Amino acid sequence: MKVIIAGAGVAGPAAAFWLAKEGHEVTLIERFPSLRVAGLQVDLRNEAIEVVRRMGLLQAVRERSVPEMGTIIVDSKGQENIVQRKLEIETESGVQGKTSAYEIMRRDLIEILYDATKESVTYRFGLSVDHYRNIKGDDNDEQGHKTDKVEVTLSDGSKETYDLLIAADGQGSRIRKHMFFYRPEEDQSRWLGVFSAYYTLPRRDYDTSFCRMYHATERRLAMTRWHKQDMGQVYLMAMSNTERFRRALDRDVASQKDAFAAVFRGMGWQEERILHALTDAEDFYADEMLQRRSTMWSDGRVVLLGDSAYCASPIAGVGSSMALIGAYVLAGELAIHGDKDVGAALASYRGVMQPLAEQSQRLPKRSLQAWLPLSSWSVKRLHVAEWVRSKGKGAQPWAKKARDQRWLLPDYPEMCWRSRSSAWASLPSTARSSLTEDSRSRSLRSPRACSSASSTVTDDMWLPSHELRKEERVETFPAHFPTFVFAAFAIYVPAFLATYRAGPSLQVVDDEIDVVVKEVTVSPNDGSAPIIADEVDVQEKVLLREAPVSSWKILAYGAPNPQAQLSSILTFLINGIFVALTADALFRARILYPADDLSFVRLGYVSNEEAKMLLREPDQTKMPVTVEIRIADAQPPFEDPIWRLAGGLGSTTSESDFTGIVTIPLKFKNPRWYEYRTSNNHTGRFLSAPRPGHLSDKMGGKFTFLSTSCILPRFPYNPLDHALAIPGLRHLADKLPELSAQFMLFLGDFIYIDVPSRFGKSVDEYRMQYRQVYASPDWAPVAQNLSWIHVLDDHEISNDWDASNTGVYQAAVEPWATYQANVNPPKALRAGTNNVRSKDSTWYAFAQGPASFFLMDTRSYRSRNKVPFEDDEKTMLGAEQLEDFLAWLARPEPRGIRWKIVASSVPFTKNWPVNVQDTWGGFLVERRKILEAMWDAGARGMGVLILSGDRHEFAATKFPPPADSHWPASAAAHEISTSPLNQFASPFPTYRQTDEEDVKLKYIPSGSSKFGAFTIENIDGESSLQYQLYVDGKEAWNTTLIAAEPAHAPSSSIWDFLKF
């Protein structure tokens, strides 16, 4: 189709993007001589974010988002009464705050849309539509459709003909005025009686990156927001002086400034500063808020889009979001119906969008008055109400459920996007627009890829997810459903008592019926002659007895019977015991073992030069705590076993949960056994590490380390076990003496904050979960003498975490840093440097003996999982970490290091199709970059091994380079994924090879406790890595990998040609 769009704001370019993508010829005109880049700070919410994601522009929006941290309500003296930090999108609750996760200046959003369309759309500036005329087609096409057109008269006097005119020229749309000129009754727009103005305000040093909102009396509101280091904006809003404002709006800007200055004089707070800036402002803009409503959105081949159709007013805060959604829906309906049934497409567009438009326009007058108080008492009442609301569970000021929570964003497979069932397209628009929450949960999605990739995407932002969380896929641990268990038992108790008291059930034994017929003479009442009639006497005898009672049915169904008291009591006790066991599993550890007074020491990273220790001591009477060490295998006369002071802590505070770090310098550079003891009675021993590139004769020329992930205390559940028992650690403790491991590389899910149930989101809640693992009676045997180093995964934050550093991330990562990251290896070197390490990074690198290690952070920087798998901008690591990691892979290592070992909390293989979007299988573009860098390292003679966990299964996978590539077959990388150390195991296979890119070597799903031992040694001049898998304490599989020799290129040196 040939389409013309009027208006280059948000709606126009967004519609142009989709229509041009569908192959239409699109012209976009704008009455200004260039892009209109002035405007307010806007936010994107709910479905609009998904639309931008589908456009591939979400990263660009993120990069240009304003750094607003939240909103603060202040009083007339500037006192901060209520602080609401920015609420990120929470797909489970649909809650967002006044400050959205995607705040952006309108001009930046317009420029992003312009850059995305300027190559495929014809832009013509300085033009507008003065008039239009629909032209009915006289001829039919091959399908029998009329070839209708629309003729537009442009502001330069020219006339042009198009198949469709889209009016995206804002709430003051000239095209809209023309559409309703002869039918004003169709236009149901309404003025709200609220007047607003905005203009630039220079920033001062004390202006923080919070939006500040001030409610003055007499229905006035002032607000400041900051989008630059030196500049921001003032927003003024008033719901009074209606006639004064309306007269001013009909005049020049100076009159409008005078009106606002007069009304806001005496408001308090930053009055002088705000009104002074008002006088000097060159970008002042004022208007009365209105809502655009009408009974029709289209006229022939002309359609309204965005504010011209359904403006909700700035106070609703959804203008840009509605524009983006509307553009997507309009293009989608045109794609469904095709250019031969445009009328049906426009009607369907209104049918789909109208419910959402009506919801966005629901602004009760009383709510506006409450938000713009009249008196000082009303202001205080509002502040108190918002303060109380902010203290409620999960509540924040202004936090609101998504307005369109009952509105479903359509998928349009015709626009090459992941589609729902094709039934969506066949539904009438009225049916599609009226889908309820229940019907949404029943609608089906069949993922559809636009590229050649076979990846699938689960979009659970609005549809209830039918995919179980990892910890709920197969486990029947009853405490996963505590609310249901306790609620069901609360119903069961009175039902049990009522049934028991209802009396016995009766059973019919015999039923006899006797019928006697006699002739009798009957005299009628009217005096007529008597008549003879039959008299029938029917008697029934029913013999009953109590129904027999089946004890097994009472026990199986839980229903009591007064005839079987013992069975009834027994079935009640059985149900009561199950409920008690659920309560025990949930609450015993929390109530009896919060571990507040836990005192312990654990070994962190140990190198050949130093050893890091984490020490916790809440008892201040034991301060200071000192640490002493000595050589465990001293060799006189040059060495002695004397205890020497190595470090200590002067005090601990609640800010760090009474923990501290002690770094112990080591005297000998070669591996030695050291013993340590603390003044608060903790002891242990550790083995220092070999120097990079060297193997220790003390260890028989072997270098051994361990790896696993996932710990859930008290699994499998045993009511007789300790509340903090971790049986998997017992298996590990049994094997440690014979393994002589250097360290444990733990690959995440050290705690499960949300299993069996999440009890809170505070820092204290996360801290307690760590303390309870360290307080386990099974912890000390595996930690006193073994170094543990860690990476971060989702259950240290929240299941399948992909929301970067938003939401609960900060509360989660502080305890993780306290208990694990602070005693981890050094931060990784920055790319392009030899000694510079980022202070704030959460990825680590080190070298010991024959191996170099890189510990990834796969949670803090990743894109949303639901972004298409083949999206070029989708990232697991983030740009900075990826750059450092690729530099580490390419960096030459000291002589003797033949292995590069990568620690990833999630599997690198895509052979786990269940929840694959949470693994590297959902990040295929970045995965490919990494694989190529690994093959490069392999071609240089490095063995590349990826270690992962997360899946509660074991799998070994090979990643061979393509057969026709320049990499030799020996450059293949390998992955060994081992978990859990103590968690449920999958009872059925979930891993399967689907292509020759990821080749299965071994797969073992069973076993609730798994860990692996890696031993590297030189055998016959080759660097050999032996892996041993232990399942439930027994060796279940082993294999050996050999580091390939480097592929040498032919040398041109003269010395290679000389023979001696």
pLDDT digits (tens, 9 = 90+) for 739-750: 999 999 999 999
> DSSP secondary-structure letter at 658?
T
Before 756, cis peptide (omega within 30)? yes
Q: Are 543 and 529 in contact (CB under 8 A)?
A: no
Band the pLDDT of 388: cuts 50, 70, 90. low
Q: Are 768 and 586 in contact (CB under 8 A)?
A: no
Name which residue leads in pLDDT, 807 or 971: 971
Half-sphere exposure of 654 (CA within 13 A, CB side): 3
Q: Are 42 and 80 in contact (CB under 8 A)?
A: no
Band the pLDDT of 386: cuts 50, 70, 90. confident
- Tokens for 727, please give them: 């049986």
- The pLDDT of residue 132 is above 60: yes
- pLDDT score for 146: 62
Name which residue leads in pLDDT, 915 or 363: 915
- pLDDT score for 433: 39
Dihedral in degrees, nearest 10, Cα atoms 253, 258, 260, 262: -170
pLDDT in tens, 863-899: 999 999 999 999 999 999 999 999 999 999 999 999 9
- pLDDT score for 503: 67
Share of the chain above pLDDT 70, in %: 87
| DSSP track, 808-861 | THHHHHHHHHHHTGGGS-PBPBPTT-SS-B-SS---EEEEETTEEEEE---SSS
SS3 466: coil
For 184, phi and psi rounded to 5 degrees? -65, -25
Query: If phi over 0 gives left and psi between -120 and 50 gives alpha, with beta otherwise, what is residue 128?
Result: beta
Q: Which domains does the chain have, with CATH numbers?
A: 68-100+190-289+373-403 (3.30.9.30), 477-524+559-592 (no CATH), 600-608+689-1042 (3.60.21.70), 609-688 (2.60.40)
- pLDDT score for 827: 97
CA–CA distance, 153 with 172 (Å, rounded to integer): 18
- pLDDT score for 568: 85
Alpha-carbon distance values, 263 to 77, 254, 256, 560, 777 (Å) = 19, 14, 11, 75, 70
- Rounded to a whole number of angstroms, the distance between the first and last alpha carbons of the chain is 80
Band the pLDDT of 99: cuts 50, 70, 90. low
- The pLDDT of residue 474 is above 70: no
CA–CA distance, 15 with 329 (Å, rounded to integer): 9
| Matching residue, tokens 């303390």 | 771
The predicted model gives 767-784 an average pLDDT of 96
Radius of gyration of the chain (CA): 37
Name which residue leads in pLDDT, 291 or 473: 291
- The pLDDT of residue 933 is above 80: yes
For 409, phi and psi rounded to 5 degrees? -70, 120
Q: Are 352 and 435 in contact (CB under 8 A)?
A: no
- The pLDDT of residue 461 is above 80: no
Alpha-carbon distance values, 436 to 95, 149, 318, 441, 879 (Å) = 19, 37, 21, 9, 41
- The pLDDT of residue 458 is above 70: no
- pLDDT score for 536: 74
Share of the chain above pLDDT 90, in %: 61
Residue 497, Cβ neighbours under 10 Å: how many? Answer: 12
The separation between CA 576 and the C-alpha centre of its own chain, rounded to angstroms, equals 38
Name which residue leads in pLDDT, 44 or 823: 823
- pLDDT score for 783: 93
Alpha-carbon distance values, 643 to 501, 617, 628, 675 (Å) = 76, 22, 6, 9
The predicted model gives 811-828 an average pLDDT of 97
The predicted model gives 153-172 an average pLDDT of 94
CA–CA distance, 976 with 957 (Å, rounded to integer): 7
CA–CA distance, 672 with 633 (Å, rounded to integer): 8
Question: What residues contact 352, with CB distance under 8 A and at least 6 apart?
Answer: 329, 333, 410, 429, 432, 433
Q: H or E segment at 2?
A: strand 2-6
pLDDT in tens, 1021-1030: 899 999 999 9
- pLDDT score for 400: 42
CA–CA distance, 88 with 101 (Å, rounded to integer): 5
Query: If phi over 0 gives left and psi between -120 and 50 gives alpha, with beta otherwise, what is residue 36?
Result: beta
SS3 189: coil
pLDDT in tens, 178-211: 999 888 888 888 888 899 999 999 999 888 888 8
Band the pLDDT of 363: cuts 50, 70, 90. low
Opening angle at CA 87, ends 82 and 92, nearest 5: 130
Band the pLDDT of 86: cuts 50, 70, 90. low
- The pLDDT of residue 401 is above 60: no
pLDDT in tens, 582-627: 999 999 999 999 999 999 999 999 999 999 999 999 999 999 999 9
> DSSP secondary-structure letter at 694?
-
Band the pLDDT of 416: cuts 50, 70, 90. low
- The pLDDT of residue 569 is above 50: yes
Name which residue leads in pLDDT, 1004 or 669: 1004
Band the pLDDT of 532: cuts 50, 70, 90. confident
Q: Where in 203-321 does DSSP place strands (E)?
A: 210-216, 220-226, 231-238, 285-291, 298-299, 302-304
Name which residue leads in pLDDT, 92 or 973: 973
Smallest CA-to-CA distance from 321 within 236, 395, 407 is with 407
Smallest CA-to-CA distance from 712 within 494, 983, 457, 941 is with 983
- pLDDT score for 522: 78
CA–CA distance, 507 with 545 (Å, rounded to integer): 5
- The pLDDT of residue 764 is above 60: yes
Question: What residues contact 165, with CB distance under 8 A and at least 6 apart?
Answer: 3, 4, 5, 6, 129, 132, 150, 152, 175, 301, 302, 303
Band the pLDDT of 725: cuts 50, 70, 90. very high
Band the pLDDT of 1054: cuts 50, 70, 90. very low
Alpha-carbon distance values, 703 to 348, 384, 664, 944, 1015 (Å) = 68, 64, 22, 16, 5
Q: Are 283 and 199 in contact (CB under 8 A)?
A: yes
The separation between CA 910 and the C-alpha centre of its own chain, rounded to angstroms, equals 20
Smallest CA-to-CA distance from 794 within 862, 729, 739 is with 862
pLDDT in tens, 538-562: 787 878 777 777 788 878 878 887 7
| Listed range (98-112, 218-232, 423-437, 962-976) with the worst mean pLDDT | 423-437
Smallest CA-to-CA distance from 848 within 880, 782, 894 is with 894
- The pLDDT of residue 1047 is above 80: no
Name which residue leads in pLDDT, 932 or 280: 932
- pLDDT score for 936: 97
Band the pLDDT of 366: cuts 50, 70, 90. low
- pLDDT score for 213: 92
The predicted model gives 426-437 an average pLDDT of 38
| Matching residue, tokens 């707070």 | 269
Smallest CA-to-CA distance from 719 within 556, 570, 589, 571 is with 589
pLDDT averaged over every residue in the chain:
85
- pLDDT score for 364: 53
- pLDDT score for 389: 63
- pLDDT score for 417: 47
